[in-house]
Amino acid sequence: MQKRKFLNGNQIKIIAIAAMTVDHLTWAFFPGLQAVWYVCALHIVGRLTAPIMWFFIAEGCRYTRDPLRYIARLFIFAVVSHFAYDFAFGIPFMPLSTGPFNQTSVMWSLTWAAVLIVVCRSERVPQWAKILCVAAACVVSFPSDWSSIAVMCPFFLYAHRGSFKRQALDIVVWTFVYALVYFIFLDKLYGALQMFTFLTIPILARYNGERGRWKGMKWFFYIYYPAHLVVIGLVRLAVNGDAPIIF
């Protein structure tokens, strides 16, 4: 029996925004990697966000009329979001000053994902240059939230557009890679929690391919993402003082 596809892009993005807000507020009120069931449950809700963002970067690259303008907009958004993200979680603005992980927002990786997609679909770019671009994008995006996974998964989601089964497998495989790295180098429990991104798959399976009536959603997200991080930063200062809340 074929699943009903009744969710448009705007509705799925609202789910991502709500899940993201829950996740970030949880970091503010329960800083660090706390092994408490209700804290873990709230972070599991937050796992809905990343795959939706990956998916719609692939969709954005598919439907944009001006790829270069789309990438430029993402770069500006990533720079603004860098300062908002670091303020939110108490991370120094200078990248790599506290280590190689979680130094900037996922928007940095997503921007490079769009660059990679545009470069690799061009017939004018030689194969060696495409391979070099893959390596470069993974290196420069490694310190961001979700690291290089947020480059490679959107890239494969774009490559496998038209086959949701393959796209679902992309989400599972690349999340597993991230979860494994998290499990080995950061925290075993929170590494395992990353795999709950699979809960996004039934949501994306009901995407009907339509944007939705409200055309302002993309601008709403561009504003909401850094704005809500600034609010998170203010909550962090009020609740925890000037201390980092994500480790």
pLDDT for the residue 238: 96
90, two tokens: 């108490």
pLDDT tens-digit readout, 97-141: 888 889 999 999 999 999 999 999 999 999 999 999 999 999 999
Q: Are 235 and 26 in contact (CB under 8 A)?
A: no
How many Cα atoms occupy the beta-carbon half-sphere of 230 within 13 Å? Answer: 8
**Band of pLDDT at residue 144, cut at 50, 70 and 90:** very high
Residue closest to 200 by CA, chosen among 8, 10, 42, 53: 53
Q: Is 99 left (phi over 0), alpha (psi -120 to 50) or beta?
A: left
Domain ranges of the chain: 9-240
Is 1 a residue whose pLDDT tops 60?
A: no
pLDDT tens-digit readout, 4-18: 788 999 999 999 999
User: What are the distances in angstroms from CA 135 to CA 151, 152, 180, 206?
Assistant: 11, 10, 20, 33
What's the one-letter identity of residue 31?
Answer: P
pLDDT for the residue 3: 61
